[in-house]
Each structure stands twice: as C-alpha cells, then as structure tokens.
Amino acid sequence: MAPLFYYRSLPWSPPDPATIDALLLTSAAAVRLGGDGLTQYRTLPVQAVGTATAEAARLAGFANLATGKKDGNAAAVMLAASGQQKILHLCGQDHVAVGHPLLTIRHIAVYVADAVEHLPTAAALALNDHAVALLHSPRAARVFGTLLDHAKRSRATVRLACFSQNVADAAGVGWAGVEIANVPTDDALFAAARMLCDQDPNGTLER
C-alpha cells in the first residue's frame, strides 16, 4: 500500500443550516475530516457519491441519505430532480467543479490532500513488469504519472485500474493496460484490478 496523498483538515465556517436545502458529498474524506461543523446538518438530506462516502456519512450520524453511482454532476441532477435548490458541497481543496442550472451550489473545502513528493522505495521497487496501480481520482492519476516519471520508471511496464473514465483520461497514454471500474466503488475497482491480474497472474497491486 503506497498512498499518494496525506490528508488534513482545513478550518471552515459552517453556513446557517436554514440557508441550505441539502448536502452534496463527493468524498468520504469530507465527512471524516469535516469536524464538529458537520453536526448541525445531520437532519438535512444528503446526496453522496459512491458507497464509501455514503457509509462515512451514515457513521457520522446522517440518516436521510441518497447514494449516486457516478460523479458529482450526476448527483447534482438527482438533487435538482428532488426539488432541492440550495446545496452545500463539502469537499477537498482540490475538487472537480459541480454545477447545475437549477441549483445554487456553495462549495466549501473542509480538507486538503497534499501529494507525496516521491514514490516510497518499496512502492518503486514493486512497480515491476507485472504491477497494477489502483487510482481513485483524476488528480491521483496525474500525480502517479508524475511520480513514476521522476522515478525514471517506464509507464509501459505498469497497468492501471481506474475508478472512472475521468481517472483513466487524466492518466494519459503509454500504460501497459487500463481497466475501468464499472461503478465508482472500491469493490468494483478491485474487480478491475483482478481482471488485470487474471490477464497476468504474476501481477502485483499498488495503491
């Protein structure tokens, strides 16, 4: 296991819950690192992207949950369809913009993910001709490519299991192989990685 980011909370000022119709959560980290400011929104409807985010919200005390299986923009469509208008998007400092013509979305960063400066030695050594890297986000894909280039390791020796098509697009070209999770969940991501390993039983996994 070789994480590409170190996560830390950011100070933030929670808006008055009376001015918010629903929460949009696109990352489980926003729930885990949002702090005490989250508590005043527990009675509001929550649109979560992915089962991991929904589970983090449930464990944090949110009960009125809906879960989408695509991305933030798809979640915004679901919010608009439900009649919600004033949306609070709690997110990371580096996040994908979410918008919808029928919604007023306020984005507030509650955490930051700092990229590592180099691949750990063990991870670099594990990136052999059979390695499979698991990538969750477009930023992770870009960071991983940069780290690999700096380590002078060929992309042509590494295969990628990607959380979504957006992640695969951000990774660029030149990889030994790419598989995309059929839905944005960790289980589906591991299934994509297993498909790559089945193609080459000598493969190893790196995250």
d(CA 181, CA 184): 6
Q: What is the pTM of this model?
A: 0.76
Closest CA to 181 of 121, 134, 149: 134
Q: Look at residue 204 in the predicted model and tell me its pLDDT.
A: 47
Give the sheet arrangement for strand 177-180, strand by strand: 177-180, 158-162, 131-135, 204-206
Look at the alpha carbons of 103, 64, 184, 182 in this order and tell me if their dihedral is positive or negative.
Answer: negative
Q: Domain map of the chain by residue range?
A: 5-114, 121-198
Q: Look at residue 97 in the predicted model and tell me its pLDDT.
A: 82
The topology under which CATH files domain 5-114 is Rossmann fold (3.40.50)
Q: Look at residue 72 in the predicted model and tell me its pLDDT.
A: 86
Q: Look at residue 120 in the predicted model and tell me its pLDDT.
A: 65
Q: Look at residue 73 in the predicted model and tell me its pLDDT.
A: 86
d(CA 194, CA 203): 9
Q: Look at residue 200 in the predicted model and tell me its pLDDT.
A: 63
* Residue 171, strand partner residues: none
Per-residue confidence in pLDDT tens, the chain, 207 aa? 577 889 999 999 999 999 999 999 999 999 999 999 999 999 999 999 888 899 999 999 999 999 987 788 889 999 999 999 999 999 999 887 888 999 999 999 999 999 988 876 656 666 666 789 999 889 999 999 999 888 888 899 899 999 889 899 999 999 999 999 988 788 889 999 999 988 764 544 444
Strands 104-115 and 131-135: unpaired
The answer to whether the beta carbons of residues 69 and 53 sit under 8 Å apart is no
